[in-house]
């Protein structure tokens, strides 16, 4: 059981550490690349979105990598 717990918590830790890194990138640079509507948004909005970006970073990274469509 302890092995399962250690693996689970390690994965969780890595997930959120990477999320933090991506979150910082998002706040300072990446926001407008993920969503062009972010151009005019204030810093406060990016801070508000920060925890969610940390939580869901794999989806947002996916959006960055995917080739842009006309939509």
Residue ranges in contact with another protein by CB under 8 A:
1-2, 5-6, 8-9, 12, 34-35, 37-38, 40-42, 44-45, 48-49, 51-52, 54-56, 59-60, 63, 71
Give least dist CB 53 to another protein, A: 8
Cβ atoms 26, 53 nearer than 8 A? yes
Give min distance, CB of 55 to another protein, in A. 5
Q: Shortest distance, CB of residue 15 to another protein, whole angstroms?
A: 11
Q: What are phi and psi of 66, to 5 degrees?
A: -55, 140
- Asked if residues 7 and 15 have their Cβ atoms less than 8 Å apart, the reply is no
- From residue 23, alpha-carbon distances to 4, 34, 53 in Å are 28, 12, 6
């Amino acid at each position: 059981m302890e092995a399962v717990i250690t693996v689970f918590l390690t994965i969780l830790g890595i997930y959120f550490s990477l999320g933090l890194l991506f979150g910082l990138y998002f706040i300072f640079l990446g926001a407008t690349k993920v969503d062009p509507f972010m151009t005019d948004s204030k810093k406060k909005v990016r801070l508000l979105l920060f925890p969610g970006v940390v939580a869901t970073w794999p989806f947002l990274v996916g959006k960055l990598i995917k080739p842009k469509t006309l939509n």
